[in-house]
Amino acid sequence: MVIPITALRILKRLRRIARSVIFYSLILFLAILFIGALIMYLIEYGKNPGFNNYFNAVWFVMETITTVGYGDIVPNTFLGKVVDMVIMPVGIAVISLLTASIATELTNVAIMRSMGQHTTSKGKHIIVIGDVDRALRVINVIIDLMNRKGEVVDILYLNNGDKPSSLPADVEFIHGDPFNTNDLLRAGVDKASTVVILPFNDPDTKTADAKVILLIMSVRKLNTDAYVIAEVLNEVNRDYALRAGANSVISLGSFTTIMIANEVFDRGLSSVLMNIINKGNLGLIKADEYVGSRFIDVMQMIKSKLNYLVIGVVRGNEVILNPSNDFVIQSSDSLLIIK
């Protein structure tokens, strides 16, 4: 029988709760509260106006075991006082055990969280996996772009090493092996909206790219809906990464090579492109409301309405730069714009 991941998580959580001291302390507390109240009610009812209903008996036991002692309700009978003498120390001991257990659990959770040993509760978040230096640079740029766009998305970093001291405070850290399914699930890969996979710091580029491709396959198996972005060091491995399930694959070596070669003939071009990218001025917008319109008309409308410059159309995996004036926009298209 195959158990879904979500159901398996719930079962594990219930089993952990059932084994905890807090659970047993809470059961004891409720037992003393309601059973003690029932005994006091049966003894005092009809002989004490303060115990004219069961709720008042519960109230009396609650204020007794929490040592509040308002004194608004007190037992009148000898047997009631004897029972209350038993409820007092037992109830106070259970309350102390319960509060101590909760405090201990909260402390343990805080310690585990600071060390990255916990399981995230996030969903629809961005997960970054890979070499620390690369990951920190990507995370900082993502945060900067979110601030500029006014968007808020949770970011999580999964790594097998210690938590980086320079990791932004609002970025969650999970200590775990990215190649271990349980650790991927602890990071919430199955619930993530975007997963960014970066090369690890391996001396051999083939090994680094192989790890990236393996991670793409693992992530895609756990989450078929996530948008997976990967970086490979060798351009020849780009197709393998795409076949493994990545939505977008960036080859750093190929990109820098093209930039350098173009700089030879078009001096200053690299600075212009980097300036546009770094400032977050390059973007995509959905073309749904412009379906059936000509490119030239769409370009003029967007320039007039948003003051954006449309420079191309993205159709599937194809980028069409500066299409003809009569190029017709289709339903699945996105518009490449400069803000």
Q: Tens digits of per-residue pLDDT, 79-123?
A: 988 988 998 898 888 888 888 888 877 777 777 776 677 878 888
Q: Does pLDDT of 211 surpass 90?
A: yes
The Cα–Cα gap between 302 and 185 comes to 42
Choose the CATH number for 18-115 among 1.10.287.70, 1.10.357.10, 3.90.550.10, 2.40.110.10: 1.10.287.70
Q: Does pLDDT of 223 surpass 60?
A: yes
User: What are the tens digits of pLDDT across the range 51-75?
Assistant: 889 999 999 999 888 877 777 888 8
pLDDT of amino acid 1: 43
Average pLDDT for 269-288 = 78
Q: What is the residue-averaged pLDDT of the chain?
A: 85
pLDDT of amino acid 2: 42
pLDDT of amino acid 13: 59
Strand 282-286 relative to strand 194-197, pairing = unpaired
Name the CATH superfamily, with its identifier, for domain 281-338: Regulator of K+ conductance, C-terminal domain (3.30.70.1450)
Give the residue, 52 or 279, on which the prediction is more confident.
52
pLDDT of amino acid 10: 62
Domain 126-252 has what CATH class?
Answer: alpha beta
Average pLDDT for 201-221 = 92
Strand order in the sheet with 282-286: 282-286, 334-338, 309-315, 318-321
Q: Does pLDDT of 201 surpass 60?
A: yes
The answer to whether 329 touches 292, Cβ cutoff 8 Å, is yes
Give the residue, 116 or 199, on which the prediction is more confident.
199
* Domain spans, the chain: 18-115, 126-252, 281-338
Residue 112 is encoded by which pair of tokens? Answer: 């585990």
Average pLDDT for 234-250 = 89
User: What are the tens digits of pLDDT across the range 8-33?
Assistant: 556 565 566 556 777 888 888 899 99
Q: According to DSSP H, which parts of the chain are helical?
A: 5-18, 21-44, 54-65, 78-115, 132-149, 181-186, 205-222, 238-244, 252-265, 269-278, 295-306
Band of residue 173 on the pLDDT scale cut at 50, 70, 90: very high
pLDDT of amino acid 120: 83
